[in-house]
Amino acid sequence: MNWVAIIVFVILFGLVTIVGFMAAHWRRGDLDLLNEWGLAGRRFGTVITWFLLGGDLYTAYTFVAVPALVFGAGAIGFFAVPYTIMIYPLVFLILPRMWSVAHRHNYITASDFILGRYGNRSLALAVAVTGIVATMPYIALQLLGLQVVIGAMGIGTSGGLAGDLPLIIAFVILAAFTYTSGLRAPAMIAIIKDTLIYITVLAMVIVIPIELGGYGKLFSAIPANKLILPSPTGNSLGLYSAYATLALGSAFALFLYPHSVTGVLSSSSRHVIRRNAAYLNAYSLMLGLLALTGFMALAMGIDKMPEFAPQFAQYKANFAVPALILHAFPDWFAGVAFAAIGIGALVPAAIMSIAAANLFTRNIYLPFIRPDCTPRQEAQNAKIVSLVVKLGALVFIIFLPLQYAIQLQLLGGVWISQIIPAVILGLYTRWLNPWALMAGWLAGLITGTVMVASTGFQSATYALPLGALIVPGYAALYSLVVNFAVAIVLSAVLNPVAGTRGSDETAPGDYHFEPAPAAEAPTPVSATA
């Protein structure tokens, strides 16, 4: 038991707990309304949105898994860096349109937009279910980061209730302040989390290379087959195509996750989104530095140190960064770093649970179960669902093997990509038929699931044969091609058929809408629109 690290960890965790409850009084609004509880009244400016999106997208699992992938597999782990660079031009071009039409019609979720754009409840339901299912294992994986740092402090390596109790306490606290404060809580806590993460990463990339004798000696200690991608051999493109498609496919999918949409729609204007598309690249730089710590752990031979053997046996490569921190820094700083990772689990988990609750309430409960639901009942249901979502993630991680959550997360990335034709193209054109989009969505889901299943659910890359050439690539991208093909062909067939296209409640000007500062609140969208 590393008591110094534990005390520092608990103090910082206590601080964010207080901040989480205080957030209910920050920019006060009526938290019995879903727009206020789930989107904080759409009032976050540039700075708060920057922290919120950074805390939302760069999760505890990211800070554990990216260096672990570099540590275990080498250079392929750096695919996360170009993908986070490619995504922000897409954000700059696309998401201001989403914000404008959502603000104009009071859309709270992507499924609200689908319902308004296509007038098809089945397609809106499909998008909502996809978002919820893809988010659940994502929440569970945040617990991995928390579990690893708890284990690093000497708690719970033997398993049982003693190991699970800190995790349970942390998520009871998370559930309490999320229920009380809504999206305001993770927004305020994200400021603390991001500050701690930047301090930790900067300390690691300065102190550890000095201990190793400089970056030159660091890179010279890395095996050649891990330092760079191996060249293709035979008739396969090898890791080259896998690296490129992972980066490209991940860039397309990331901002379609419900928690990403929630963060974007909480912004106060479309200009805030554009500014953050430029400023969020600071996180890409930080992620690149963080990925380097995987090489640092490899160069230092951290997995061969006997004092870390129990944790490596339990957490495998995911323990590389915590072990590196314990080895290179004093215990008090390890407590700060572990608190940063632990808080980095709470922020995205809170936003994800809010986003899933918004989807269920707005697009399943309201239209299909309680169409006569009042706004206050709608918000209350969302609060309860957010608790159920977190409880489900907690039960998942405690009672089921971790690899199940990882396998479902692999599928989650493939599945969330299948709503790209409906959501992204829907922001620009109404030509695609909603029933054709449904068929393409289903074809993409089946194709992507089969591809991942063919790897034994161990990888999201699939070796696609193209004649004599083998092109390993991200299953999400390959299945998305199938999705687009089906949607385009069937749209050409179905569009001339009367009654298949549905109704569109949006107008071209809605996609450039920017309310005046004193504009009245938008009219709520009908539950049966």
* 194, part of any domain: yes
CA-nearest of 348, 419, 423 to 389 is: 348
Q: Is 41 in a helix, a strand, or coil? A: helix
Assigned domain for 61 exists: yes
CATH of the domain at 135: 1.20.1730.10
Query: Do the domain assignments include residue 519?
Result: no
Residue 331, domain extent? 3-512
Lowest mean pLDDT among 197-206, 482-491, 497-506, 508-517: 508-517
| Per-residue b or e along 221-234, where b marks 16 or more CB atoms closer than 10 Å to that residue's CB | bbeeebeebeeeee
What is residue 250's predicted lDDT score, i.e. its pLDDT? 87
What was the pLDDT predicted at 521?
Answer: 42
Average pLDDT over residues 132-146: 84
Domain count of the chain? 1
Residue 15 covered by a domain: yes
**Residue 528 included in any domain:** no
Q: What is the pLDDT of residue 459?
A: 86
Percent above pLDDT 90 for the chain: 58
Q: If you write DSSP's letter for every residue of 280-297 in order, what string do you get? A: THHHHHHHHHHHHHHHHH
Q: Would you tell me the crossing angle of helices 258-265 and 331-360 to the nearest 10 degrees?
A: 90
Q: Is residue 181 part of a domain?
A: yes
pLDDT of residue 518: 46
Assign 159 a pLDDT band (cuts: 50, 70, 90): low
Which of 83-87, 365-369, 440-444 shows the highest mean pLDDT?
A: 440-444
* pLDDT tens digits, 217-246: 999 999 988 999 888 888 889 889 999 998
**pLDDT band for position 160 (50/70/90)?**
low
**Rounded mean pLDDT, 504-520:** 80
Alpha carbon 488 to chain centroid, angstroms: 29
431: left (phi over 0), alpha (psi -120 to 50) or beta: alpha
How far apart (Å, rounded) are the C-alpha atoms in residues 36 and 55? 20
pLDDT value at residue 527 = 38
In a domain, 371, yes or no: yes
Categorize the per-residue pLDDT at 54 as very low, low, confident or very high, splitting at 50, 70 and 90: confident
Cα 114 to Cα 20, 111, 231: the distances in Å are: 33, 5, 44
pLDDT at residue 262 greater than cutoff 50:
yes
Residue 321 lies in a domain: yes
- DSSP code at position 526: P
- Parallel, antiparallel, or unpaired for β 461-466 and 469-474? antiparallel
- pLDDT(254) > 90: no
Q: What pTM does this model have?
A: 0.91
CB of 157 closer than 8 Å to CB of 151: yes
